[in-house]
Amino acid sequence: MGYSTILFDMDGTVLDTLQDLWASTNAVLRELGHPERSLDDIRSYVGNGARNQIRCALPEGSGDDAIDDALSRYRAHYAAHCRDHTKPYPGVVEALRRLKDAGKKLAVVSNKPDAAVRLLAAEHFGGLLDVAIIKKSSATQLIPTFLGSILGQGINDPAIEVHHVREVSVECDPPLPMQFDGEVIQDATTPFTMRILPGALCTFVDEVSPFSDLARLEG
C-alpha cells in the first residue's frame, strides 16, 4: 500500500540552513562578548532545538538566565536573517514537484521556531498554483472532464495535464473577458498574469469557535 502523505524534516533534510544558523549564533556571541564558534561546532549543536543549540554555543557553565537571554537575541536575529544563505539541497524542489504531481500530500515538520518554518517553507516550497490544462475535447466531454479535475479525479486522466507553478500568464487572440469565481471582472480582458503571494491568505476564526486558538492561520 502506497503512502498518501509524506512528512519532511527541514534543517539538513530539504533545506541547507547551516550558514544562517551559524551566522545568527555568532552574532549573538559577539554581542555578548563571547568567543565565536566554528561552522563544524554549530553543525554538531543543531538538531535538538534552538535552546540546546544556544546552550552548547555559550561558554560552559552558563546558567538558565544567560541561556534565555541569548536565545531571545538569537531568535530575533535569525528571524531577520534566516533567508540570507539558506537554500534547498540540489534536486529537492524537483523531487517534491514529482511527488506532488503523483498526488502525494506533502508537509514539513520541524522543531525550529515556527515563524521561520512558515517563512522558509512558503518561500522555497509553498505558494504553488495547481493548474489543470484540459486537452482538446468535444463539448460533451469538456464539462465532466473539467469537474473531474476540480474534484482531484484527473491525476491519471490522459486528457488532463496538471502543473504546479508560482505564476501563470494567459494570452489569447482575440482577447477574452476575465472571470473570477464565475463573475466577469469589469473592463478586464486577456492577456493577464496571476501569481501566488506566500502568506497572503489568512483565515480568521470567531471567538466562539472550538478552533478559536487557531485565530489566524496563514497559508
pLDDT digits (tens, 9 = 90+) for 173-193: 788 887 665 577 777 788 877
Instruction: Report the pLDDT value the prediction gives residue 197, as an integer from 0 to 100.
Output: 60
Q: Of 96, 168, 95, 92, which is closest to residue 130 (Cα–Cα)?
A: 168
Let me know whether 77 and 109 are in one domain: no
**Whether 42 contacts 18, CB under 8 Å:** yes
Structural domain containing residue 97: 87-126+199-218
How many whole angstroms separate alpha carbon 26 and alpha carbon 18? 12
Asked if 31 and 67 sit in the same domain, the reply is yes
Give mean pLDDT, residues 143-151.
Answer: 63
147 shares a domain with 44: no
Catalytic residue among 9, 16, 69, 157: 9
Does 31 share its domain with 113? no
For 91-134, write each residue's pLDDT tens digit: 998 888 888 778 787 777 776 776 777 778 777 876 554 555 66
Write the burial class of residue 15 (CB in 10 Å: 0-12 exposed, 13-18 middle, 19+ buried): buried
Indicate the number of domains in the chain: 3
68 and 166 part of one domain: no
**Does 51 share its domain with 150?**
no
The answer as to whether 6 is a domain residue is no
Identify the top-confidence range among 24-33, 156-165, 173-182, 202-211: 24-33
* pLDDT level of residue 162 (50, 70, 90 thresholds): low
Residue 81, classed as helix, strand or coil, is helix
Residues 205 and 190 in one domain: no
Does residue 68 have an active-site annotation? no
Helices 64-81, 114-124: inter-axial angle, 10-degree rounding: 20
Q: Give tens-digit pLDDT for 67-91.
A: 999 999 999 999 889 989 999 999 9
Region 133-150: mean pLDDT is: 62
Stated pTM of the model: 0.59
State the pLDDT confidence band at 210, using cuts at 50, 70 and 90. very low
| Any domain includes 5 | no
Residues 133 and 179 in one domain: yes
Q: Above 60 in pLDDT, residue 207?
A: no
Residue 107 sits in the same domain as residue 25: no
Same domain flag for 114 and 203:
yes
The predicted structure's pLDDT at residue 153: 59
**One domain, residues 188 and 138:** yes
Task: Examine the domain organization and report whether 110 and 212 are in the same domain.
Answer: yes
CATH of the domain at 22: 1.10.150
| Residue 135 belongs to some domain of the structure | yes
Instruction: Give me the residue label for grid cell 544563505.
Output: 85
Residue 10 lies in a domain: no
> Would residue 177 count as lying in a domain?
yes
